[in-house]
Amino acid sequence: MPDPTAPETPHEFDLVLERTIAAPADVLYRCYTEPELVCQWFCPKPWKVTEAKLDLRPGGASYHRIEGPDGEVNHVRGQYVEIVPGKRIVGTDAFIGNWMPSGKPFLTTIITFRDMGDGTTHYRAVARHWNAEDKTLHEEMGFHEGWGKAADQLEELAQSLVAKA
């Protein structure tokens, strides 16, 4: 029986993207945790991350400067809650680092990498919202398409890193 307190336990306010990615879990983890790699895949093109600052520890801040094709700029701030190297990254926008509250929490992300033992990884990205309205809003904003395109870019980058190794 699954642990009901585990972050992977499904919740009614979750939006979930799951797929098998043709790259090892440790490489996917690098793509999530090395700023220069994050900038190459993290949001669906033509949007791009132009700056990433990642303090990879529980309570550590995350920051992504995201720029759009028409000059839009978004500053996305959050905090890591749990880091399990090569396996799981849990973060939230409820805090902006060192447990300082944000203006309005929207979601917690639960990213898991399960190495399948054959060079592939079961990748699961969960966006857990604080309420049904935020979940619906995120879905209408294009969660599945946007996070799906970003996952395609993640896989492409990870495969290029494997090919270089």
Domain assignment of residue 7, yes or no = no
pLDDT band at 3 (very low <50, low <70, confident <90, very high): low
Residue 144 CB: number of other CB atoms within 10 A?
12
Confidence check: pLDDT of 1 > 80: no
pLDDT band at 20 (very low <50, low <70, confident <90, very high): very high
**CA distances in angstroms from 9 to 29, 53, 83, 94, 125, listed in the order given:** 21, 29, 17, 20, 12
Q: Which domain holds residue 79?
A: 14-164
Cα–Cα distance measured from residue 2 to residue 157, given in angstroms and rounded to the nearest whole number: 32
pLDDT tens for 52-93 read 999 999 999 999 999 999 999 999 999 999 999 999 999 999
Q: How many domains does the chain have?
A: 1
∠ Cα 130 58 89 (to 5°): 65
Is 109:91 a contact under the CB 8 Å cutoff?
yes
Confidence check: pLDDT of 2 > 90: no
Looking at residue 27, which CATH number applies to its domain?
3.30.530.20
pLDDT tens for 92-101 read 999 999 999 9
Is 83:58 a contact under the CB 8 Å cutoff?
yes
